[in-house]
Structure 1
């Protein structure tokens, strides 16, 4: 291990830090004795952002040191995990969205030069559709995102748990405005019980598209911006700048012309002089580029942008707004000269009245061509990149130092993915939303652990399984095809079937200026899709999505996956061969009031002898006793919830929860050494009502399984089954 260097840390402190880092890996039992510390000497989330158009969360993680990551690039190294939570401000608090991960390794500081911190980007797509709202044009749905970074341990599903190595970062984001509504939603919002006669013919399930209203009169728009103290050179930048011969380019131009502007007695000459004056540092009053990093497995750069003002973005959410553009550059030989322009990514932004005090955080990403930059793992490839932000006008494609009127630039050091051999033709990077290398070659489960597993271990797949990956063309510009197939484990190869025969790929073409995003639908009957990504001509698959596999109709069990592609000669090459476990079992909930658990169902909760009884503070009647049933082949946890909590004075059921491979109320610790744990068939529980107010109460049971369902790492939820009882000083007839 390379000798560690941590600024402002004594030799004794360094020795203790290193000892704790090494022993952290020895035994999971050790984790129970470690207090939450949020140690960030090795790794830290520096930025989090959201892309409303793509529903994509991104985090930029800074890897700060040369060692302490469990081995070099040629070893397994270790994992950095980022779990994302979102508080949609709907009263449910932070909701778990799942996690993403990436590999880190010891990378030497030699030779001297820019090596650390290394900036990695990781991402997660979320489903935010149901949280979008049809609000006023100037009001957005603004959730809070919490990203939790944890080294080598998957972060807890509890948003309030602090990781030992890593940190927590909260930011506010903006959801895409709802552009369609359903009549039924409108009736519900207005509490319409019976449709009026004149609306009787309306289909309540019909979607209504909301047209974009016309732009407000220039006088109205200008007056609003003056009240918001937006400077004239910002307000009319996209009107004046295109008319000046200073090589500024725009994707879209202002809808207001110069003649209309002059009628408002705006000082156009002053705006012109401001735009033409030399810029040493662009203005970051309205927006600022905060971080840049590389998604190493997917050859994709990402950047996080912070918007700071509620006005100055050329229109509200009902109108076109404006765009933030980020140009990316590479310094391949680390000499301080960013000699190659890689491309520009853009995002649309708007005036939003309810912007939080700390602003809103967005992200953009750009797939890049690293085909000729791949080295073996024995030669870590670390380079510098630069991101240049420009509002409204496009950044320069010829000068990495050029700044337009608004924006800034940020440099970072990133690590390019290594090849696993002298030459890799193709690889699957992610299966079902998790890293391909997390699938165990013997158990076929994700995050396999046969000794002391937690709920994050030994996970099968279910529902829809996505496949993402990259095929390296190695200079070949002809047609490449690929197929992903499955068969029952152990079956003959002749039984292989395609996981899919119809897909739509989201592509981006950088050959035109500006670039063009488009959809590429393909429906090959034989399952051989054409791999159209070709960095040599600027054509990319935006998400590196290859195919999806719907497993709902399959028999549960083990399946083998084969990833095959054609080479430059048209020969078929098997790039990956592995097996997974499929489980589509759902928990069945007993819907009847029972006096004992229903053994025909897998989820049930009872009060012994029946519920809806009275309990009191007397010595013989102060305990509610019951049993619960929560079983699943891939059980994760069950939990009991006593409500209303405002009257319980801290009383909770005993036990209140149990996790896979753990004792009740022990937490997610893996202390039973039972990797076959499938839950509880008939477990006792109780509530002591002595300290509770006189009131009616419910106890509710919910459970989760470990199945990675529909390519989401969020544990599938089942419930609730509830029972009720009352509490008083002394029950009648007792």
Structure 2
């Protein structure tokens, strides 16, 4: 079909939800947009995947989404907007496997112009998702392939790496190859397993305390540390290794450290020593030095592709590709080399000057057998000083500078690497004043939890990945609390929990572990222990990038009021409804057993129960037969016209009876009872369904 014009595209955008909700009945839909438009996968008029990558240190997959237009995203920042979803697939050698999906909230953002009068579009968003993977020894690289699927306002279908299912209307697909961080402890030393066992069973003890006064154990730990501390490969050894594999790595690349020292240290002796080392390895020092000086902006080995903002977790993300197999300073068992990515922000309020944000580092190595590996550099940053209320969206220009083996000091790379600019949009300022503020509790934004009932509201999402939450959900297990933290660094707060059913109250007083980074941007964890009055200390953004304030396990089915109390007496609170009781399901039929036998066409009589404190729904289904009778508490229920093989109900059933007429053309069957929950578990995900089943065999 011919392409739609601008007006027709916007109409199609607005009609997308009707098509997605009624794919099965699409022939009966009355749409202005031709049906063929929705059946043609992946329109990139509004959004498009730019780059995908992986950060080996944080073990995060990343994808960067380009938002191209000023409208078509269901409302401005003061409204709910819409979501872009990315589903990741990873192939470790046996085909692509579904890893789940992550989303980002996007809005209509009016066109604005930067300091050079350029249109601030596209706006680029990054999404990140933890990859749970095994690790191999450094002697054997683990280089899986990644596929990312982008879809606007509808979650990409699960377990569909070949994109065979309908519904991929808006978005696109990207593929890349990544590198998993290896294990460097290649041999478990004799008796070292005992030290590890003791450490696991006693997590509060450090390894140094465990091996205290044990010379043998001290020696084993020292040997292990030596294995884990990779050394740089000597220049002569590196040159020899490259010659063996005919890597054809230029002298100015392999001998970079010597050349850079000769250039940057104004000392003739440094240049003389470097020239001597080159001569010993039969390399031309003068030629290599001249070539290095002329190599500014060389992208033959690595190249930056995208730079964006993780909107929900405030981190800058830049994706780059390592293009060659060699030229990175040694294999995975060595120290390798470093790729530096320095981020800058241009702020109109400071006369359009570029302001340096910080530098992120990714280690690279010589890895044979690939045609390009995608990496991501991630830099957490506190953007609070730039934020404005939702009525005034804030778009900033960001620049990332990639540089191999030397940190860039300016807006351009000194030798190898390149720079990329893009536009990012900040989340609106959601807190005004000097009082404490709960932003996220139980994994969900406090704005989407009913203040009186403590249940989740319509359109609630998990803050961590923007996965949808069932409306009316309650909470089970661990309750995490996130809120305003960095502006109060050094001040104190405590968390009071009031049981609204019993009137009892208590303070949370467990040690709290928060995540941040050190001066070299390595991930670090800090443990905050409350004082005798149960007060915690607010941490700086650098030590607590996610603004985590508390974690506790109430272990109750009651309604709780969680209150943050500042040391000055000001407070903020949020009600949550707990439910730590699992649903109950049971089922039995005529003759129970591992596999019950019936004749084809026989009638199976069964009883079942399905109860939950806050029932969502249960599904009673049969394969190899049909339900012909159903009773709840002795009361006959309407099954539907004729017979049915699946029944969905949203009421508790204590005593249920069913009758199944078995099939004449099947040799076996199965009856299943599945209870789906509307419960958030450990502030992380919806509870898994609870189920029971009974198989049966059919004979002639």
TM-score relative to the length of structure 2: 0.73
CA contact (8 A) 2:486 2:539 kept: no
Q: In the alignment, what sits opposite 2:561?
A: 560
1:15-414 to 2 correspondence within 5 Å?
15-24=7-16, 29-30=21-22, 33=25, 37-89=41-93, 94-97=97-100, 99-110=101-112, 113-126=118-131, 128=132, 131-135=133-137, 137-160=138-161, 162-179=167-184, 209=224, 211-212=227-228, 218-226=235-243, 227-245=246-264, 260-277=277-294, 279=296, 282-333=297-348, 339-355=354-370, 357=371, 359-396=372-409, 399-400=410-411, 402-414=412-424
Q: CA deviation at 1:314?
A: 1.6
Q: How far is 1:505 from its partner?
A: 2.6
Distance 1:458 1:654, change over 3 A: farther
CA distance in 1, matches of 2:48, 2:499: 42
Contact kept, 8 Å, 1:70 with 1:77, in 2: the verdict is: yes
The CA distance in 2 between the partners of 1:86 and 1:626, in whole Å, is: 45
Contact 2:514 2:543 in 1 (8 A): no
Determine the C-alpha separation between the residues in 1 that align with 2:106 and 2:396.
16
How far has the Cα of 1:70 moved from its partner? Answer: 2.2
Q: 1:489-508 CA deviation, whole Å, 9 max, x = no partner?
A: 4565x71532x531233333
C-alpha displacement of 1:684: 7.9
SS at match of 2:105: strand
Aligned equivalents of 1:108, 1:680: Cα separation in 2:
58
Q: Secondary structure at the match of 1:602?
A: strand
Residue of structure 2 in register with 1:533 after alignment: 540
Q: CA deviation at 1:385?
A: 0.7
Note the residue ranges of structure 1 that are not aligned, 5 or more in a row.
1-7, 187-197, 248-255, 588-600, 642-651, 656-662, 665-670
1:614 and 1:674 map into 2 onto residues whose CA distance is: 29
- Which position in structure 1 is the counterpart of 2:426? 416
SS of equivalent to 2:66: strand
Structure 1 residues 215 and 343: alpha-carbon distance in aligned structure 2, compared to 1, 3 A threshold: closer
Q: Matched residue of 1:394: which SS?
A: coil
Q: Hey, what's the Cα distance between the residues in 1 that align with 2:69 and 2:102?
A: 22
Structure-2 change in CA distance of 1:484 and 1:272 (3 Å): farther
Pick which of 620-629 and 298-307 moved more: 620-629
Query: What corresponds to 2:213 in structure 1?
Result: none
Q: 1:421 to 1:90 in 2, by over 3 A?
A: same
CA distance in 2, matches of 1:701, 1:415: 47
Aligned position for 1:468: 482
Name the CA shift for 1:33/1:501 in 2 (closer, same or farther; >3 Å).
same
Q: Compared with structure 1, are the counterparts of its residues 448 and 530 closer, same or farther at alpha carbon in structure 2 (3 Å cutoff)?
A: same
- 2:516 equivalent in structure 1: 507
Supply the distance in 2 between the matched residues of 1:79 and 1:687 (Cα, whole angstroms): 45
Distance 2:615 2:145 in 1: 31
Matched residues in 1 for 2:479 and 2:10: separation? 39
CA contact (8 A) 1:376 1:422 kept: no
8 Å CA contact 2:319–2:375 kept in 1: the answer is yes
What's the CA shift for 1:147? 3.9
CA contact (8 A) 1:607 1:723 kept: no
For structure 2, the residue ranges without an aligned partner over 5 or more in a row are: 27-37, 201-220, 267-272, 461-466, 627-637, 640-645
The answer on whether the counterparts of 1:449 and 1:458 sit within 8 Å (CA) in structure 2 is no
Structure 1 residues 145 and 436, CA gap change in structure 2 (3 angstroms) = farther
Give CA deviations for 1:9-36 in whole Å, capped at 9, x if unaligned: 97x6433332233344579855665656
Q: Higher helix proportion, which one? A: 2
Q: State the aligned residue count.
A: 622
Check whether the contact 2:321–2:374 (CA below 8 A) recurs between aligned residues: yes
Secondary structure of 2:348 counterpart? coil
- Cα displacement string for residues 355-409 of structure 1 (whole angstroms, at most 9, x for unaligned residues): 4x4x33322222334343222222221121111111211112xx31x22322111
In structure 2, distance between residues paired with 1:236 and 1:681: 78
Instruction: Tell me the CA shift for residue 66 of structure 1.
Output: 0.8
CA contact (8 A) 1:635 1:705 kept: yes
Q: Distance in 1 between matches of 2:391 and 2:304?
A: 34
Change (3 A) 1:374 1:613: closer
Query: Could you tell me whether the CA contact under 8 Å between 1:114 and 1:413 is conserved in 2?
Result: no
Structure 1 residues 706 and 339: CA distance shift in structure 2, 3 A? same
Residue in structure 2 matched with residue 521 of structure 1 by the alignment = 527
SS of equivalent residue, structure 2 residue 490: coil
Q: Is the 8 A contact 2:77 2:391 kept in 1?
A: yes
Distance 1:325 1:679 in 2: 63
Q: Is residue 235–residue 255 contact of structure 2 (8 Å, CA) maintained in 1?
A: no
8 A contact 1:479–1:530 mirrored in 2 = yes
Deviations 1:276-325 (A, max 9, x none): 2263xx22233222211112344321222222333222222222222211
Q: Name 1:708's counterpart in structure 2.
A: 680
Could you tell me the TM-score, scaled by structure 1's length? 0.70
Secondary structure, aligned partner of 2:104: strand
